[in-house]
């Protein structure tokens, strides 16, 4: 019998998950995770690289991101959830990998570059307060993926550079120390980056997101005040009509309709509010089952912690086994 390939993916616990996460990675995750031996990691160590001054926020959001994953319908009996910091072998492997990456490779990483700019409050205007930990988090992410020999990694478009670096590290490691790791591949969804209600990238930090756990009232408030234009015509033109086009993308995600079908549906409207009201209904309808499933975990948080505790036990065993092989190949297996 062929054993299943291993899938691993992760979420940073820095806030609740939103529609951008859904369109960019969760939808794909949900579609494919049952075909593999799947692991979903709560990346608390990675979250701390830019939230080291706010550990309570990271702590609180561990529960939230797992609840969100369970709410969208990931079955904890078919995927293993665990917390990154509970697996010391990941930190250990990060140290070993750090010899195989140059500082200039890390400085060239486009995703990290953008993040450093966005986080100038912590890292300084010119990156003069950039930490070793933040610059190096892609190395740690390579360890997240390889410590368990994952081959399939469903992620958003912005994570492509991390997977490229991981493959590069794997090749270098295998060349130097003998065949040890498999080369992982990203699995992307087609909607790469969803904009928030203000036209900027949808993001927890920019406060412009529709959360998977939003109530109907919250959705109403947000959509009603979403920026449009004065034309009162629904058609897709992200250059000329960024606001309306973005709302059409939300509509597309929650209704499954194409842009053409959406244009056709609203060709006779007089005011955008008619489109917005319909969008509110569709969003509400779409998120309702998530909210209902989430409520069960909000009322019984110990269910979430049980999933995480059991996941930890299972993953630790695998990590210990794999670390024996890694240490042997690196000739640091002194007392094994």
Of the ranges 6-14, 55-63, 75-83, 260-268, which one interacts with ligand TRP (CB under 6 A)?
6-14
Q: Is 198 helix (H, G, I), strand (E, B) or coil?
A: coil
Q: Which of 204, 222, 282, 318 is catalytic?
A: 204
Closest CB 50 distance from ligand TRP, rounded Å = 10
Of the pair 46, 80, the CB lying nearest ligand TRP is at 46
Q: Is 79 helix (H, G, I), strand (E, B) or coil?
A: strand
Report the C-alpha gap between 126 and 235 in whole angstroms.
41
79, β-bridge pairs: 38
Q: Which of residues 23-52 bind ligand TRP (CB under 6 A)?
A: 43, 46
Any catalytic annotation for residue 204?
yes
Those residues whose C-beta lies under 8 Å from the C-beta of residue 180, and which sit 6 or more positions away, are 173, 174, 325, 326, 329
Secondary structure E strands in 182-230: 185-187
At how many degrees (to 10) do helices 242-255 and 272-299 cross?
50
Any catalytic annotation for residue 318?
no
User: What's the order of all strands across the beta sheet hosting 152-154?
Assistant: 79-83, 37-42, 6-11, 152-154, 185-187
Of the pair 51, 159, the CB lying nearest ligand TRP is at 159
Closest CB 111 distance from ligand TRP, rounded Å = 8
Of the ranges 9-17, 50-58, 306-314, 322-330, which one interacts with ligand TRP (CB under 6 A)?
9-17
CB burial readout 262-291, b (16+ within 10 A) else e = beeebeebeebeebbebbbebbbebbeebb
Any catalytic annotation for residue 182?
no
Q: Which of 57, 201, 278, 312 is catalytic?
A: 201
Q: Does 9 bind ligand TRP (CB under 6 A)?
A: yes
Of the pair 67, 248, the CB lying nearest ligand TRP is at 67
Report the C-alpha gap between 166 and 317 in whole angstroms.
23
Closest CB 9 distance from ligand TRP, rounded Å = 4
Interface pattern 138-167 for ligand TRP (x via CB under 6 A): ---x--xx-------x-x---x--------
Compute how many residues bind ligand TRP; rule: CB under 6 A: 12
Of the pair 82, 251, the CB lying nearest ligand TRP is at 82
Those residues whose C-beta lies under 8 Å from the C-beta of residue 115, and which sit 6 or more positions away, are 50, 134
Closest CB 182 distance from ligand TRP, rounded Å = 14
Q: Which residues are catalytic?
A: 119, 201, 204
Give the footprint of ligand TRP on this chain (CB under 6 A): 8-10, 12, 43, 46, 141, 144-145, 153, 155, 159
């Amino acid at each position: 019998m062929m054993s299943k390939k291993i899938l691993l993916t992760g979420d940073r616990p820095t806030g609740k998950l939103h529609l951008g996460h859904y369109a960019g990675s969760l939808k794909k995750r949900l579609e494919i995770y049952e075909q593999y031996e799947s692991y979903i990691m709560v990346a608390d160590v990675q979250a701390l690289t830019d939230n080291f001054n706010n550990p309570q926020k990271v702590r609180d959001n561990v529960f939230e991101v797992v609840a969100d994953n369970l709410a969208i319908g990931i079955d904890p009996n078919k995927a293993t959830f665990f917390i990154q910091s509970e697996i010391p072998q990941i930190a250990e492997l990060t140290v070993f990998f750090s010899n195989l990456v140059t500082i200039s490779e890390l400085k060239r990483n486009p995703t990290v570059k953008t993040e450093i700019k966005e986080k100038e409050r912590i890292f300084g205007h010119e990156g003069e307060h950039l930490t070793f930990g933040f610059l190096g988090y892609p190395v740690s992410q390579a360890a997240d993926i390889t410590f368990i020999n994952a081959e399939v990694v469903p992620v958003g478009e912005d994570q492509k550079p991390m997977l490229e670096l991981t493959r590069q590290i794997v090749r270098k490691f295998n060349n130097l120390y003998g065949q040890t790791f498999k080369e992982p591949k990203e699995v992307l969804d087609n909607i790469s980056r969803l904009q928030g209600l203000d036209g900027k990238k949808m993001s927890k930090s920019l406060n412009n997101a529709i959360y998977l756990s939003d109530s109907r009232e919250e959705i109403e408030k947000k959509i009603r005040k979403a920026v449009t234009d004065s034309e009162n015509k629904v058609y897709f033109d992200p250059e000329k009509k960024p606001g309306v086009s973005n709302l059409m993308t939300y509509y597309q995600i929650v209704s499954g309709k194409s842009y053409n079908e959406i244009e056709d549906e609203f060709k006779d409207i007089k005011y955008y509010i008619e489109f917005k009201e319909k969008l509110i209904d569709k969003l509400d309808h779409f998120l309702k089952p998530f909210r209902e499933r989430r409520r069960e975990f909000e009322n019984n948080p110990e269910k979430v912690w049980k999933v995480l505790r059991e996941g930890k036990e299972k993953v630790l065993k695998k990590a210990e086994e794999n670390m024996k092989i890694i240490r042997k190949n690196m000739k640091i297996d002194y007392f094994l």
